[in-house]
Structure 1
Amino acid sequence: MKRIFLFLSILLLNHFLFAQYQFESGARQSGMSGSGVVISDIWSSYHNQAGLADLEGFSAGLFYSNMFNMPDLRETSFAVALPADKYGSAGLNYSYSGNPASNFSKFGFAYAKRLGKRITAGIQIDYLRLTQLSYGNSGAAVGEIGFISEPIKNLYIGAHVFNPWRAKLNGTEDYISSVLRVGAGYNFSEKVLVTAETEKDIDKPIVFRAGTEYNMIAGLYLRGGVALNPVKYSFGLGYNYKNITADVAYISHNILGYYFQFGLGYTMVKKKEKTSEDK
């Protein structure tokens, strides 16, 4: 029975993760069905590195997902980023998913900078490593690039490309997917954010996602979203207390069922210097 369970786990892991060599880290974004190409937080390292340019201070995050409630499909991620004023923001991130027999990991170095009053841009270099007990190890270096623009107040437009040069795993003929995401978001008020985006994997049909975030009371956020192709529904909660954020997301897949994701974040916000009016 254990061998059958392990075999099914490996098949699912190959289908849902190795097929695109990407992680969906970020419980905030997942609570909005992954519609996060214009969102700025520590998990921009996984959705659009341009978002790192707007971090207020040193940031760190931990993420955990147990896809379809199968232990062998666990995903864990860690990310840190440090903004340096006019020099931009630099970040590191690491993710792992799988089991000893079949697993996938990703290490990334990101850099983002504000290029003007209304636009930020970011890049990232990743090293992907695939381990399969029967075939050994293989890896590849890929790139990511993205931007976020605010053409008018409260309207955000973003785009992100994963693996623009169509890299493939060394020693194999297995090409890594190139993925383009384009989306927009609008703050209808200080309490309501609505986002929508499309994603095109070069080898797959177009995916559509939409999500919303509502700040119910101070520090407490309610989220929801839907994705098409395949159909997925999501809900999420977030709570911010001083420099700490905690997020949980519930994702329902129309065929394979549901699973949860969890995230913790920390941001070291700089204290504003007192002016003569504050004293």
Structure 2
Amino acid sequence: MGHATTALPEYDWALFANPALLNNDKVGLGFYGLRNYGFAEITDMSATGSVPTGFGVAALGFHRYGDNLYNETRIRFGYKNEWQMLHFGLVASYNHISFGADYGSGGAFGLDVGIAAQLAEDLWIGARSTNINRPEYEGINEELAREIGIGFSYGLNELAVFAFDAVKDVRFPVSYRGGLEINIIEELKGRVGVTTEPLSYSLGFGYGMERWVINFAVQKHELLGFSPGVDFMLYF
């Protein structure tokens, strides 16, 4: 859906987007893999799990990008709760970067925040900010990426979901992101999306039952090519 995830309610990967929208209802466990532009050396892999409790939702996630020559690793701890119609979330993360052949490595702790609210029955608004503490990799003198995003989503009678985000990285122009999910038949859903800065297009589909769901997607970067990906979620 073009990475337009800031206001998607109960989004399975909200720990890596807007933590205020973690799933309240189920224990979830998920895995995904994404081969960026077809290169095995810059593959994304991630896992996430969330558990609703009497004090909110707790979540844990792991993400790795790259190979032995260059890689980035993140471990994320998230918490989400709500008060009346306001949902809020917080993520603390440890980020590690490593260069092969003894060129060095470094780590940094980051802090993300997110809020969301249901304005009407099927209309949501959300906002998030990443690395608000301006972390910097120790020994490398490089700051982690910082961005702020705001988004809307609207559900059309369980037949479709529209989502739109505006995201600003402090180093780059504003990125506009839009996506559409359509319920094709029963539990089969189709998705399309577009993102600017950089310009990319995406499409995919998902199928699932009460206890599991599997999703396939491919993104086309205007210059770098295709990035296929798959994820699998289990619910308990």
TM range (shorter): over 0.9
- Greater Rg over alpha carbons, structure: 1
Deviation at 1:242? Answer: 2.3
Alignment partners' CA distance in 1, 2:76 and 2:159: 33
- The CA deviation at 1:171 is 1.4
TM-score normalized by the length of structure 2: 0.96
Q: Distance in 2 between matches of 1:178 and 1:98?
A: 20
Q: Do the aligned residues in 2 keep the contact of 1:73 with 1:97 (CA within 8 Å)? A: yes
Aligned residue number for residue 171 of structure 1: 139
Partner of 1:101: 69
Extract unaligned runs of 5+ from structure 1: 1-31, 269-279
Aligned partner of residue 71 in structure 2, secondary structure = strand
Query: 1:65 touches 1:74 (CA, 8 Å); kept in 2?
Result: yes
1:79 aligns with 48
Q: What is the number of equivalent residue pairs in this alignment?
A: 234
Name the CA distance, whole Å, in 2 between partners of 1:205 and 1:42. Answer: 28
Matched, 1:61 2:49: no
Q: Aligned with 1:164: secondary structure?
A: coil
Mapping of 1:152-191 within 5 angstroms?
A: 152-191=120-159
Paired with 1:205 and 1:108, the residues of 2 have a C-alpha distance of 27
Matched, 1:204 2:172: yes
Name the aligned partner's letter for residue 68 of structure 1.
Answer: Y
**Match of residue 233 from structure 1:** 201
**Counterpart AA for 2:41:** D
Contact 2:105 2:140 in 1 (8 A): no
Q: Which runs of 5+ in 2 are unaligned?
A: none
Q: Cα RMSD over matched residues?
A: 1.0
Name the structure 2 match of 1:50. Answer: 20
CA contact (8 A) 1:200 1:206 kept: yes
Q: Which amino acid aligns with 2:93?
A: D
Aligned: 1:113 with 2:81: yes
Q: Which moved more, 1:38-47 or 1:158-167?
A: 38-47
Counterpart secondary structure, 1:50: helix
Per-residue CA deviations over 1:208-267 (Å, capped at 9, x if unaligned) read: 000010111111100001111211010010101221010011100000111111000011
User: Which protein is richer in strand relative to its size?
Assistant: 2
1:165 partner SS: coil
Aligned to 1:28: none
Cα separation, 1, equivalents of 2:21 and 2:5: 10
- Normalising by structure 1, we get a TM-score of 0.82
CA–CA separation in structure 2 for the residues paired with 1:174 and 1:202? 14
* Preserved contact between residue 37 and residue 224 of structure 2 (Cα < 8 Å): yes
Offset of 1:172 from its aligned partner?
A: 2.5
Distance between the aligned counterparts of 2:66 and 2:196, measured in 1?
Answer: 26
Matched residues in 2 for 1:56 and 1:147: separation?
A: 18
